[in-house]
Chain A
């Protein structure tokens, strides 16, 4: 065993041309599909090709499905864009789930409590302000404690998720319709007060917002002074203070921005897409966003593709479970395999593996 280990020699690559890196990623996705096919045949006896076709049809089979896929893509991408500046700063914010939910809660609160007293336009204005402020507060708290007392942001943001979930659960009971159902139902179904206006069709508003957000985030990170500060703080806080960057301020400012964008996504989820609030309205996308952001190496443009991949897989997965009568977990297995291969390919992009010439006369 020891000799075998010695035959393999792992060294860091100095530089890999971009096309080779993408070739490696492409091969990884192909291998992932092959592995998925094998697993499918062995476990279910179904034809893997038809499963892939079903996945594709689940995501893009009809115009309506395509629109929903695009809308899901927009929300996931939006949350991913929100967490990215924090990650670039090496601030491990895993609290997007809570930040989106609290934004959604604030939206619902405005829709329910202000519908009778304010005009529709004012309600919507309040919703926008409230959701953005609520998300920003959820981002501010962990950042403030991190900047002042160096608390662990990962634990802090995770805990904030639970607080948001419990608050949402409490208010859902307070506002439940009808009493005893444990649900809010569609808010202002008859008056449609606080429903965000539709442009074109019911899906397009979120998509447009996120397209603008993508462009904004790309410019913000790569061209603005703030973006530069974030990059330097992420690399080394000592370098940042050396360059006269106020590290505490950058940490707090960036997390407030992160949280505010999450809050905005909460607004879209509740005010434009669902018109109701449940504790699971974010549907773990706050965590999936972490993966989207990392797989894209924090590049907002690449994130469009990584989030597309994950959205298509998850939309296709629900289709498989109904068409073939397979459990939804089976789709999760396939998603897991594909992500495993994609993340694994990064190892081969960073490192080179050589087989050592066998050394004679070894003891």
Chain B
């Protein structure tokens, strides 16, 4: 594409503003998508990327501004309007019917006159798959598919409806590096066929690999766009965060390492009888961060909940080794078996375990309560009598408010109304304040901006240096490799490998993540 060639716009969004209450999610954004290009929409979590795209797909309606499709002013007030204009969005969370086949899902909801002709439909779908290089078995049921196959079905669904403009919301978040490569090939094929694509992401190397142009959002504002060939990881990071930040995570060598938590042959089944963890064996050491990698839904949640006493265990042992000073004590008092204990029983037998769950407001915190009320989740039982002790939790809440710079008007302000980063600070702050022997975190930095993420990394490293056994379930492989000391890889509920984070690389992790049984576990 030369500069002289007149560029045609597939989409032009002019002066778009969208507010949620007092929060301005998008402020006066003007964005263009050229015909036949792949545009990366880059920005930290919470910078307004998905909100902006949802206005194109008819989920939200802008407060101000005008959208043009093919240079014509349009009003998109429902997803159907978007489809009629040839705009299709592939959401982060798939919207498929599990018990239907791929074909059935693709034709679902289309109002075509006459009888439903599945044969004809499947011919057309096969054609689409071949043209762009999708590997989908059309007669397979969704629940039998891997995440990447489900995603392919979502994309084909959009193409089948005749979309020329495709929006992919963080499509690589759930994929392995190998699957990501495949997706990018498909995207390039679609581009060659004249489709225009927008990919929402915050992974810089992917931006550089797949897109033609990058548009950057920061805190709801449009920062600018740049041709990908003129951009580098550093220049894009600067645009994204506003100032240059070091991408290095401080990782001191572990000290005084000895086993703290020993998991042996752990096997669990969910309420439907599906095996979620199979013979999981590993040791978490004190003074060390053990990373847990794996595709979403490979058993991470079940593992952490089983250790905390929240998930029924059908076989295996979880052994807790107390501080080394106790080593003179007789062996049967020294090591504690945690299987079969509930969280309160674990606490009562003197094992201090902190857990930062994935679902912060649905499990770790009470959304309608303030910081004080949430501090009480860990201390409500303390003290004699029927009444609550509010003083201590309030002091703790005030301390966390100050020390972690939580942005909130008061310690009684409902945590649900805080931003994601502040919610996480409250949760992590409370868990660390217990002075735990084991600290488990699930996706501790998901949805947080870079600065808050680093605050969390530093807190975890501090805990490690205090001799805590830290377990860090993460999704960003770069972070896992830079933050952790060892990384355990889960695949389909099994341990597919434990590697040294200082020597391993992403390819190696990616291979392990998909090694056992093809890695297709439905979430």
**A residues within 8 Å of B by Cβ?**
2, 6, 9, 11-15, 219, 223-229, 231-232, 235-236, 238-239, 241-244, 246, 356-357, 359, 361-363
Contacts and interface: CB of A to CB of B under 8 A. Distances in A.
Most buried by B among A2, A223, A228, A229: A228
Contacts of B355: 242
Interface stretch (B1-9, B32-40, B130-138, B375-383): B375-383
Contacts of A362: 73, 75
Contacts of B20: 11-12
Given A14-B417, A228-B376, A241-B343, A363 B63 contact: no
A239 B363 contact: yes
A9 B342 contact: no
Contacts of B381: 225, 244
Contacts of A357: 64
A142 to B, nearest CB: 23
B369 A231 contact: yes
A112 to B, nearest CB: 37
Contacts of A14: 21-22, 417
6 contacts: A11-B21, A231-B366, A236-B367, A241-B342, A246-B344, A363-B72
B482 interface: no
Q: Which of A6, A14, A226, A235 has the most CB of B within 10 A?
A: A235
A243 B367 CA distance: 14
Interface in B342-365: 342-344, 347, 355, 357, 359, 361-365
A230 to B, nearest CB: 12
Given A225-B381, A225-B386, A225-B387, A11 B19 contact: yes
B74 A235 contact: no
Nearest to B385: A225
B359 to A, nearest CB: 7
Nearest to B23: A14
Interface of B: 19-22, 61, 63-64, 66, 72-75, 77, 308, 310, 342-344, 347, 355, 357, 359, 361-369, 373, 376-378, 380-381, 386-388, 417
A28 to B, nearest CB: 22
Contacts of B63: 9, 356
Contacts of B74: 363
Given A231-B373, A359-B66, A363-B73, 17 more contacts: A6-B75, A6-B77, A9-B63, A11-B19, A14-B21, A15-B417, A225-B381, A228-B380, A235-B366, A235-B368, A236-B366, A236-B367, A239-B362, A239-B363, A242-B343, A243-B343, A244-B342
A244 B344 contact: yes
Given A11-B20, A232-B377, A361 B364 contact: no
A162 B72 CA distance: 64
Nearest to A356: B63
Contacts of A231: 366, 368-369, 373
A329 to B, nearest CB: 40
B291 to A, nearest CB: 23
Contact of B359 (A6, A15, A238, A243): A238
B387 A244 contact: no
A238 B363 contact: yes
Contacts of A232: 366, 377
A246 B63 CA distance: 46
A223 B363 contact: no
A236 B202 CA distance: 32
B367 A235 contact: yes
A243 B380 contact: yes
A246 B348 CA distance: 14
Contacts of B367: 235-236
Nearest to A12: B21
A225 B386 CA distance: 6
B310 A241 contact: yes
Nearest to A236: B362
Given A11-B19, A361-B73, A363-B73, A239 B366 contact: yes
A13 B61 CA distance: 18
A228 B310 CA distance: 20
B66 A361 contact: yes
A88 to B, nearest CB: 11
A243 B386 CA distance: 18
B364 A239 contact: yes
**Minimum-distance CB pairs A-B, first 5:** A244-B344, A244-B343, A14-B21, A243-B377, A238-B363
B75 A363 contact: yes
Nearest to A357: B64
B380 A229 contact: yes
Contacts of A13: 21
A226 B386 contact: yes
Contacts of A243: 343, 377-378, 380
Contacts of A223: 387-388
Given A11-B20, A225-B387, A231-B366, A242 B357 contact: yes
Contacts of A242: 308, 310, 343, 355, 357, 363-364, 377
A207 B361 CA distance: 41
Contacts of A236: 361-363, 366-367
Given A224-B388, A361-B73, A362-B75, A239 B365 contact: yes
Contacts of A226: 386
Contact of A224 (B19, B61, B310, B386): B386
A228 B388 contact: yes
A239 B369 CA distance: 12
Contacts of B21: 11-14
A95 B380 CA distance: 31
